């Protein structure tokens, strides 16, 4: 969908440079998705997911290996490597 928006050009340029987006559209779309994600996450925390403490404890496999998943994860295509 095409639309006209008034966006601070300097702010948009900083966001594009900082995150390596290929276009203004991609930067705006990602910003909208991130805002939506944060709002949905707040709702989940507010409502407690509707699970009991026992259900939450049993929801995670004891053999779950977060580090193994992170190593196997494909990096985001626009992510820039940070200097260490």
Any idea where the domains of the chain sit in the sequence? 9-72
83: confidence class by pLDDT, cuts 50, 70, 90: low
Q: What is the pTM of this model?
A: 0.56
CB atoms within 10 A of CB 8: 9
pLDDT (tens digit per residue) in 37-73: 999 999 888 877 788 888 888 888 888 888 888 887 7
CB atoms within 10 A of CB 27: 23
What pLDDT was estimated at residue 82?
Answer: 54
Owner of token pair 């779309």: 29
């Amino acid at each position: 969908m095409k639309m006209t928006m008034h966006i601070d050009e300097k702010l948009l340029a900083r966001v594009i440079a900082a995150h390596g987006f290929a276009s203004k559209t991609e930067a705006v779309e990602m910003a909208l998705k991130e805002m939506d994600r944060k709002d949905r996450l707040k709702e989940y925390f507010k409502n407690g997911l509707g699970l009991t403490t026992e259900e939450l404890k049993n929801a995670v496999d004891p053999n779950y290996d977060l580090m193994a998943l992170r190593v196997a994860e494909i990096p985001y295509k626009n992510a820039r490597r940070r200097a260490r």
